[in-house]
């Protein structure tokens, strides 16, 4: 059996001998987010082999990343929805930011976060506002007023909105 479907702008063709196999594959692809849950940016697939361990996952341009889990048979993957900022780890060039059970532990380092422009920060705040509105929390007036804030205050405001979103218990 063969099936083709489109999800998040990607055409995917899967094959299987039984309907269960097709549904299993459909479920994996449909579980993937259409944009980064941390910042709303577009995602791309990643594959890394640090120290001969295989890592499959998703990442956005702001270096928020999620490794997929692998089933015991090592033949299929599953989405774990555990996102990390790659810059918090020693090998920021993508040498494997997540610890494998048998791999040496990565050491966190004090790194300076990537500098975002004021426009990028405000765009991220607007995206958070849209998600909050979907969750029934309207912060549009607060966001409009945020244009007058200093850079540090604007960042703090964005963190507050992110906390509000996490407290809304809505998954995006």
Model pLDDT for residues 131-165, shown as the tens digit of each residue: 888 778 888 888 888 888 887 788 888 888 887 77
pLDDT of the residue at 159? 82
pLDDT of the residue at 113? 42
Domain ranges of the chain: 1-31, 34-114, 118-167
Kindly report the three-state secondary structure assignment for every residue of 61-117: CCCEEEECEECCCCCCEECCCCCEEHHHECCCCCCCCCCCCCCCCCCECCCCCCCCC
Where b means 16+ CB within 10 Å and e means fewer, 64-98 reads bbbbbeeeeeeeeeebeeebbbbeebeeeebebbb
> What is residue 41's DSSP assignment?
-
Q: pLDDT exceeding 70 applies to what percent of the chain?
A: 78
Residue 112 binned pLDDT confidence (cut-offs 50, 70, 90): very low
Residue 2 binned pLDDT confidence (cut-offs 50, 70, 90): confident
pLDDT of the residue at 138? 86
Model pLDDT for residues 55-64, shown as the tens digit of each residue: 899 988 888 8
Better pLDDT: 171 or 19: 19
- CA nearest 40: which of 148, 123, 164? 123
Residue 89 binned pLDDT confidence (cut-offs 50, 70, 90): low
> What is residue 57's DSSP assignment?
E
Q: If you search the block for the tokens 């804030």, which residue do you land on?
A: 149
pLDDT of the residue at 102? 43
pLDDT of the residue at 148? 83
């Amino acid at each position: 059996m063969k099936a083709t479907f489109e999800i998040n702008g990607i055409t995917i063709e899967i094959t299987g001998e039984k309907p269960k196999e097709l549904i299993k594959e459909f479920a994996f692809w449909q579980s993937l987010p259409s944009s980064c849950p941390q910042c709303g940016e577009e995602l791309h697939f990643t594959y890394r082999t640090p120290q001969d361990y295989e890592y499959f996952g998703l990442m956005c341009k702001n270096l928020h990343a999620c490794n997929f889990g692998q089933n015991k048979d090592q033949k299929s993957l599953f989405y774990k929805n555990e996102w990390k900022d790659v810059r918090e780890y020693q090998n920021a060039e993508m040498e494997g930011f997540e610890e494998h059970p048998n791999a040496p532990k990565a050491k966190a380092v004090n790194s300076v976060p990537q500098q975002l422009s004021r426009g990028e920060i405000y765009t991220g705040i607007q995206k958070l506002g849209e998600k909050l509105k979907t969750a029934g929390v309207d912060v549009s007036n607060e966001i409009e007023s945020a244009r007058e804030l200093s850079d540090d205050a604007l960042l703090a405001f964005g963190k507050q909105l992110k906390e509000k979103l996490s407290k809304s218990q809505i998954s995006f």
